[in-house]
Amino acid sequence: MKRTLLLVLTLLAIPTFAQDIEHCGFDERNNAIMDQNPELRTYLHEHFIRMNNGDIPISVDRSTVIIPVVFHVIHDGGASNITYEQILSAMDMINQDFQLLNPDSVNVRNTTEAPFQPLTANMNIEFKLAKLDPSGNCTNGVERRLSPEATTNADDNTAKHYDGGGLDAWPRDKYLNIWVVSTISSQSGSGGTTLGYAQFPYPGFGFADEFGVVIRHDRVGSIGTALSGDRTLTHEIGHCLGLLHTFNGSCTEQLAYPPYTAMNDCTAGGDYICDTPPVTAAQWSCVATQNTCNQVPTNDYYGTDVYDQFENFMSYSPCQYMFSEGQKERVWINFSDLSFMTNLISAGNATATGVNLPDVLCQADFTSSGVVICAGGSVDYADLSYFAVTGRTWTFEGGTATSTTDSTVSVTYNTAGTYDVTLEVTDGVGNEMITMTDYVTVLAVPGIGLPIHEGFEIYSSIPDNIKWFVENEDEDQTWELHTGDSYSGGYCVKMNNFNMTNGSKDHLISEPIDLSSVPTSEAMVLNFKYAYKRKTSSDNERLRVYISDDCGETWILRKSINGTALSSEQTGTSYVPVEGDWVNVDVDNITSSYYVNNLRIKFEFTNDSGNNLYLDHINLYSASMADLNEVIADNLSVYPNPVSDIMTITMDVYDAADYKITLTNTLGQFVDNIYSGELNAGERIINYNSEKLPAGIYYLNVESNGNIITKKLVKQ
């Protein structure tokens, strides 16, 4: 389902960032709501004034409260799959910052021109990782998903929804959701690098199931990938709790849009907090004498012109050390006024989320760098079991491990096959075990040889996870084997896409192919046929073709077809091709640097408004095989099929050649020889009596000059 992006506003137009500036995406994403819902400016303005007038009292106990936290890690199998220890370091940082325990708080200035040290605030908030999930099951407060597409240029539609490739939010009245991704998209096109963004808590300013923080993995904590140890997460959580940027409103504490004009009143403009002095715009410096606004707003806390408070966590300064007492008051009003936040900090919710439960072993779990590799490759495993693990034993079927007891292990697989992985852990008292059956698929290298003529006639289903693999980003409709409606033969592959509108990607990926013996001077030919019609005239669905020279570790784009180029025709119904719909595509840019023994091909379909696409007749061969490619035509026919006794094989032979026609079973074992000898040019008809065959599925193989065409046969 496509979600309309509805997010928080700020009260000024967002600043224009230089291309190399790192910034928070809060303003950028919230600009859209100001244009779409101007009444919300009035609401928020008046709401902040009521807060400052004391009209919304603090009714909850102001003792330190607990906020349960869950991290949703959307990763690519590499560095973005940050360790649990890195997440713990982030928890330590935000707890220090929100409880005024951060050692660098002593750096807050306390001079006549910058009298800020006495206003540093202990926010009285403790963050704890959840130990019970929304269903009451054991958790360590972290869930993970391998989703390379969703973790790159992430936004709300991808990171925050499982059907977009990400992970769904846990209820916002019970958990603070933090989504960890690789990179974040720039919605406004203003450039720069977005480090994180958050949603405001106020009514009407966002979907309840999207409340929380999205942050880059290299800004989470102070170890691992986040060695900079900056305060992005603290800053974004401040937005979630209701705080604006300190530079909001510029020097005159103004509102940039009618009906409000420049007020120069800290209770009715800017960030609406009077102990955070006005700042002309976002600043990325720590100049001790910086004073960008030489004036004193009405109702100003200080009563005199003071320097910029660059130490504030809600600034853009690299010297962030503090929240102010005024900001603390704002957050605690929200704890009292917003019902979901009242429940979030309640003692009952602490019990429901298990944050105070002791650390006892309750779950064996692990993650890996991948699940499909080529023979000779390695998979890195990491123990994610919880809690209090004191020992472990790994069992890797088919693999050679660097260790069987360490928390992180690299395993090499030299033989093609599908293998289980087992992890048993102990805390010295009890044991937990997890076995993932057929977890790792190891593909044969060298791969299959040329030529490749794929008509999908030999499969009982797609994916078969032997020759063809599918990656289904949203785990919804995807590539599947389709009977009939093909370009030739009885089968093709269908991208079952009618009414799919969430922008997700589906991949159809080949087994490894051996091109290592092809001379570098010889051209490679890849072509295929597809059939497709758009659902509406505005559709911009896309078919891309990639190749990989390292068994699928990395991919390079070789062909992209979208919009009207994919099809100029449309139909509002679920599309089914007819004769004449099929389009031939040639991919002529596979260079000799890709003549390796483990080449893989990937077809990627990106949906938009949703109609079906069909794929058939995939060919890959070198230029010297072009003539051989013509020897076995694509109109081989076997009938009747299913067969009970006599079957007829027909095919066109272009030039006289030797042919061998055999039957094999589903394991590839020889069953019978149907014909062996020369066939003259023209239409050839061969009859075969199948009565002696047991009922089952067989494959008819027609071979000539090194080329093979295979068709599936069902014996009744």
List Cβ neighbours of 578 (8 Å cut-off, separation of 6 or more). none
Four-point Cα dihedral 174, 178, 184, 188, nearest 10:
40
CB 632 within 8 Å of CB 655: no
**Is the torsion defined by CA of 46, 51, 57, 62 positive or negative?**
positive
DSSP 592: G
Residues 161, 145: Cα–Cα separation, whole Å: 11
User: What 3-state DSSP class applies to 530?
Assistant: strand
- b/e sequence 458-477, b meaning 16+ C-beta within 10 Å: bbeebbeeeebbbbebbebb
The amino acid occupying position 72 is H
How many angstroms separate the Cα of 381 from the Cα of each of 87, 220, 365, 412, 440?
18, 22, 10, 11, 11
Edge-to-edge strand ranges of the sheet holding 377-383: 366-368, 377-383, 408-413, 400-401
Residues 536, 540: Cα–Cα separation, whole Å: 9
Tell me the H-state helices in 474-581.
563-566
Q: Is-catalytic flag, 39?
A: no
Residues 588, 565: Cα–Cα separation, whole Å: 18
Burial group, residue 179, by CB count within 10 angstroms (0-12, 13-18, 19+): buried
List Cβ neighbours of 479 (8 Å cut-off, separation of 6 or more). 462, 463, 470, 472, 493, 494, 495, 496, 506, 508, 603, 605, 615
The β-bridge partners of 452 are 620
How many angstroms separate the Cα of 578 from the Cα of each of 478, 488, 575, 702?
21, 12, 10, 27
Residues 116, 113: Cα–Cα separation, whole Å: 9
Q: Among residues 256, 272, 259, which one has the least CA distance to residue 13?
A: 256
Burial group, residue 554, by CB count within 10 angstroms (0-12, 13-18, 19+): exposed
The dihedrals phi and psi of 35, each to the nearest 5 degrees, come to -75, -35
Which tokens in the block code for residue 607?
């949906």
CB 487 within 8 Å of CB 457: no
Annotated catalytic residue within 149, 210, 236, 432:
236
H or E element at residue 232: helix 232-240
- End-to-end C-alpha distance for the chain, whole angstroms: 44
User: What 3-state DSSP class applies to 48?
Assistant: helix
The β-bridge partners of 311 are none
Residues annotated as catalytic (active site), given as ranges = 236
